[in-house]
Structure formats: C-alpha cells, structure tokens
Amino acid sequence: MPNRPRQHNAAPRDSEAGRVPLRAMSATLYVGNRNYSSWSMRGTLLLRQSGLPCTEVVIPLDTEEGMAKLATVSPTHRVPVLHIDGLVIWESIAIAELLHERAPDAGIWPDEPRARALARCVSAEMHSGFGALRAQMPLDVRGRHTVPETPELRADIDRIEQIWRECRARNSRGGDFLFGEWCAADAMFAPVVSRFRTYGVALSLGAQQYADAVWKRPALAAIAAEAAGEPWSLDLGLNQ
C-alpha cells in the first residue's frame, strides 16, 4: 500500500573516541505526501542521514483520514513529526538538532564551528522565510508547471542563489554541497531544488551545478521515486 510504514535500520558512521551516539529504542517519523509535502521531504532526508532505526509513516494530506490521523500524532496537526523514545518532536529544526545529538557522527551539521553556525543560520532562514516561493511555487515533485514571475518571487530566487553562492565559496572546499559534505542545510534546500525543476527556473551556472548535485543525492532520488508512485493528487490552485 502507498502509505505502508517504511522501516530502515542503517548504522551511523563510526563515532570518534568519547562520542558514543545514543540509539533510539523506538522511533516513528510521520510525514505527508512525498509529492507535495516539502517539510516532510526535509524531515525524511534528515532521518535517513542519521542512520537511526526508524519507521516512516506517510499520511495523505487533505483527506479526512489523513487529518484524523494527524490529530492523533502531531500537536500542531502538521508534518513532519518524530516520535522517539516517548518524545514528540514536531519542528524540522528541532528534529535536526535531536538527530545530531543522537547520531553525532552522521554529519547532520558541519564539524567546523563557524561552518556549523552558518549552516544553522541559513537553515533557520529557509525555515522562516521565502513566503513568495512557497505560495507561488508549491511543491509538486512529479509535476511540471509554469507560473508568472512576480517581483517578490524573483527576490526570493535571487536570495536563494546568493545563499548558495556564498556558502559554497566559503565552505565547500571542493565538495558538491553548501558546506562540502551533505548536511542539514542541504536537506533544508532540497525542496527548493525540486521546485526549481518543477517550474523550470533558470539558474546561474554555479547554482545549477549545486542543484544538479542535490537532485542526484540517492536519498532524494529515492523520495522522488516514492512521490512518483503515490496515488494521491491535490489541486495546487495554480489556475493553469
């Protein structure tokens, strides 16, 4: 079934001396439709990177069944929400921080303090900003659409390109991602990469190279494949 719980039990990277990751006794990540839920994509990428054993449960959004289920698992009635060892964590940034504590060697955040601070900063900006992008380019992983480019949307796109350019210039050290190795900041921008593909956004060469590297990430490719196989279809209100 499309919403059958997914289980994984990958091991995190070997810990350094004195840094033994706490292992979850039980964990479930509740997410929305793979195709439409951008924050579920972020939470899933973070969880799979952590390597912690966890069950993933897809809740179809905008359905009576889904809303009823959300009411029982999420205090905000939103996803993602992580249930782990009796805790309920319902914000993506908080999920990232908890996973970093539980799997400190999984690379959730960069090791270098300055890079880690910047990664948290741009992740928080992604979490709280870019309202025009969210409103005018809703996530549709498997879809292809065109929308008018408003000044507000263009400003969001330009700011995203600036973040990508500056992070990679300062911290990539020749790696493909914002801080060289994949981290939570890349997970935060992964749905943006998907949106740019869906809506055919033309990017600068450097931004396109980064976007291509993100899209080729195996964990993201797996989510895109899962999105392609979902039976649900939502009206995004694009008036096309």
pLDDT in tens, the chain (240 residues): 445 565 555 444 444 434 444 554 689 999 999 999 999 999 999 999 999 999 999 999 989 999 999 999 999 999 999 999 999 999 999 999 999 999 999 999 999 999 999 999 999 999 999 999 999 999 999 999 999 999 999 999 999 999 999 999 998 787 999 999 999 999 999 999 999 999 999 999 999 999 999 999 999 999 999 999 999 999 898 865
pLDDT at 7: 57
pLDDT at 20: 43
pLDDT at 26: 87
Burial class of residue 209 (count of CB atoms within 10 Å of its CB; 0-12, 13-18, 19+): middle
Segment (H or E) for 31: strand 27-31
Angstrom distance (rounded) from CA 99 to CA 86: 15
Class level of CATH domain 113-226: mainly alpha
Angstrom distance (rounded) from CA 180 to CA 25: 32
6-102 carries CATH number 1.20.1600.10: no
pLDDT at 23: 53
In 3-state terms the chain splits into helix, strand, coil percentages (rounded to 5) of: 50, 10, 45
Query: pTM for the whole thing?
Result: 0.89
Question: The tokens of 76 are what?
Answer: 């905000």
Angstrom distance (rounded) from CA 149 to CA 137: 10
pLDDT at 174: 79
Residue labelled with tokens 């593909």: 197
Residue labelled with tokens 């479930």: 28
Q: Domain ranges in the chain?
A: 6-102, 113-226
108 φ/ψ angles, rounded to the nearest 5 degrees? -60, -45
Angstrom distance (rounded) from CA 182 to CA 125: 18
If we measure between CA atoms, which residue out of 76, 162, 151 comes closest to residue 126?
Answer: 162
Q: Are 164 and 189 in contact (CB under 8 A)?
A: yes
CA angle 39, 173, 21 (to 5 degrees): 55
